[in-house]
Amino acid sequence: MSLKEALDQYTAVKKEREYIAAKVATLERQIDHMEESGYSVKDTVRGGEGNMHHYTIEGFPYGDYSRRKTLLRVRRQQLIDRDEKLAELETQVEHFLSELADSRLRQMIVYRYIENMSWVQVADRMGGNNTADGCRKMVDRFLNNACS
């Protein structure tokens, strides 16, 4: 895997991990709400002689609760898997970067891809007369040449 592919994968897995973490947080809030508020559902049914009487039934939705708990376990496992994948990709990227001789280029790549900064933030962090476009072009040229 090339540096460019590793960086692309790292960025994609990082976004996927954020998405799954948000899903886990939502499920945890829903389950906590169900448990704390005595969450119950109501329904009206007909019964009695000739189905003429209406009865209201109320209870805890065990099916929905169980489904959400199972989904939460699955999402937490997905989160663990993504964390492992991120660690593996970060190790690969660090290996590629450790072999890179140009310190400025290495810093730009770390700021942009690992620390998830915008190109404007990268240029500010680099200081000097660096512009966002200059930093972006320098990194793009390197990545395109490295993959060729």
Mean pLDDT, residues 47-69: 81
Q: For the chain, how many helices (H) and strands (E)? A: 5, 2
* Better pLDDT: 131 or 55: 131
93 in Cβ contact with 3 (< 8 Å): yes
Q: Residue 34 corresponds to which tokens in the numbers above? A: 């169900």
At 148 the pLDDT is 63
Please state the pTM of the whole predicted model. 0.69
Q: 30-39: b or e for each residue (b if 16 or more CB lie within 10 Å)? A: bbeebeeeee
Mean pLDDT of 43-51: 77
pLDDT tops 80 at residue 78: yes
Please give the DSSP secondary-structure letter assigned to residue 115. S
Residue 94 pLDDT exceeds 70: yes
Q: Which region, left, alpha or beta, applies to residue 116 given φ > 0 means left and ψ of -120 to 50 means alpha?
A: left
> What percent of the chain has a predicted confidence (pLDDT) above 70?
99
pLDDT of residue 147: 67
Average pLDDT taken over every residue of the chain = 87
**What's the CA gap between 117 and 122, in Å, rounded?**
6
Q: Which of 25-29, 96-100, 122-126 has the lowest mean pLDDT?
A: 96-100
Do residues 133 and 119 lie in contact, with contact meaning Cβ atoms separated by under 8 Å?
yes
Question: Would you state the pLDDT for residue 27?
Answer: 93
